[in-house]
Amino acid sequence: MAPSAMVCALCLFLFHLQTTRANKAVTCNSLRCGDVDIQFPFGLKGSSQSPRCWYYPNPTFQLSCLNATKTILTLPRFGNLIVNSIDYETQTIRVNDPNGCLPKRFLQKWNLSDSPFILNPMIYGTNPYNLTFLRCPSNVTDSSQFPLLPISCLSDNRNYSVVVSWSPPVVSSPMMSQRCELLTRALVPIPMMDMPMWPFWPDLNIDLQLVWTQPRECRDCAVTAQRCGFSKTLQLACFPRDSNKGLSRSARYGLAIGVGIPGLLCLIGVSCYICGKVRMLTERRGSRDFPVTISLEPVPFVMGLDGATIEKYPKTLIGESGRLLKPNDNTCAICLSEYEPKETLRSIPECNHYFHADCIDEWLKLNATCPLCRNSPDPSSTLSFSSFSPTSSLHSPHSSQ
């Protein structure tokens, strides 16, 4: 009975952690602007709140309410941003451009160093990506040989389109220098989960997710369904919410966790105790134990191909005459550069699409799919393919060996 007693004691301890702490503070009611719930550390300009109801050491936490429908956050070196949601448990705020064109902000020299916010590292990693903004004719961006999606809010679809690409190599390609105009190079935060879609860029106009690093103490208050604020001694602390307003969604969630997890642990402890008793009785009766071994093998998750597999894909050297494998397709779909004589190409056997060898090698290391048809090449099929030479002007580097 000792193991179950220890489990129940642990259950009581966990439940005790969910109880609120009694501490008196200034009454601070939640405010709303549109669909956004405004709580500490945020305040609302023009309200009758006490200064202790928001994190006054940093004026950036003062929000504005535009026409009683739009919540505005003003960041130094970034300007005004519309707030779409605030998550106080994860200390995350989702913002966007009030005019619906967030990429236009990235064209300027933006900086978050003078604010309490940083880019959410769980979404964007450690650093933004250096991208190139180009203005190209609309008929060029609509072609199948130009797989860059235009930014609609920066483009005039009838005359020109603004697209983005890596910095470099796209800008150095002959086709880009002749048809497109370089606007600027800028740092752009891109969600890491969208990177395998390159070169088909995601929508750069989606909400920007920021997290605030100070004050950190309020996260524990939100998780335990309490209110964060300044005490009479101007120390940050957690306070119980007003009881006459009923339980909020966060409070109900915390109560479910506080009761559900201890209850589950107690149930597991009682089940283990009963199973032990049954096993002892079974052994006394001379029953055989049939051990069951369950082997859980990890499921491999491969983002790209290894170097040995990539080297098995056919390589082709373009001859002196410059004749191409397919007359209607003379551009690499990855770097968008036209094929030149004596350049080495590599093809994917499954779909017979070909690219610059250097371009497709880097692509396959990150993503095991064809950039054009998105088919996944079968690594085993490379053993039955060899370098091809469809025209007399193409020379395979393997044929000379």
> What whole-number percentage of the chain has pLDDT above 90?
17
Q: What is the pLDDT of residue 209?
A: 94
Residue 342 confidence (pLDDT) above 70: yes
- Say yes or no to pLDDT of 193 above 80: no
Q: What is the pLDDT of residue 183?
A: 85
Structure confidence by residue, pLDDT tens digits, 286-318: 544 445 454 445 544 446 788 888 888 888 887
How many other CB atoms sit within 10 Å of the CB of residue 126?
A: 6
CATH topology of domain 307-395: Herpes Virus-1 (3.30.40)
pLDDT confidence of residue 401: 38
User: Do the bridges between strand 62-66 and strand 43-44 make them parallel or antiparallel, or are there none, so unpaired?
Assistant: parallel
- Residue 18: pLDDT above 70? no
With H, G, I as helix, E, B as strand and everything else as coil, classify residue 263.
helix
Structure confidence by residue, pLDDT tens digits, 248-274:
556 666 777 877 888 888 889 888 889
Q: Mean pLDDT, to the nearest integer, of 372-394?
A: 50
| pLDDT at residue 398 in the model | 43
Which region among 75-79, 154-158, 172-176, 339-343 has the lowest average model confidence (pLDDT)?
A: 172-176
pLDDT beyond 60 at 396: no
* pLDDT score of 212: 93
Q: What is the mean pLDDT of residues 53-80?
A: 92
Per-residue pLDDT tens over the stretch 110-152: 889 889 999 999 988 888 888 888 888 877 665 544 556 678 8
Q: Is the dihedral of CA 122, 106, 116, 62 positive or negative?
A: negative
HSE value, Cβ hemisphere, 13 Å, CA-based, for 360? 27
Confidence class for position 2, pLDDT limits 50, 70, 90: low
Report whether pLDDT(168) > 90.
Answer: no
Mean pLDDT of the chain: 75
Where are the chain's structural domains?
129-188, 307-395
H/E stretch holding 138 reads: helix 138-141
Please report which confidence band the pLDDT of residue 36 belongs to, taking 50, 70 and 90 as the band edges.
Answer: very high
Edge-first strand order for the sheet with 129-137 is 160-166, 129-137, 181-188
Q: pLDDT at position 172, please? A: 46
What's the pLDDT score for residue 327? 60
Q: Are 186 and 174 in contact (CB under 8 A)?
A: no
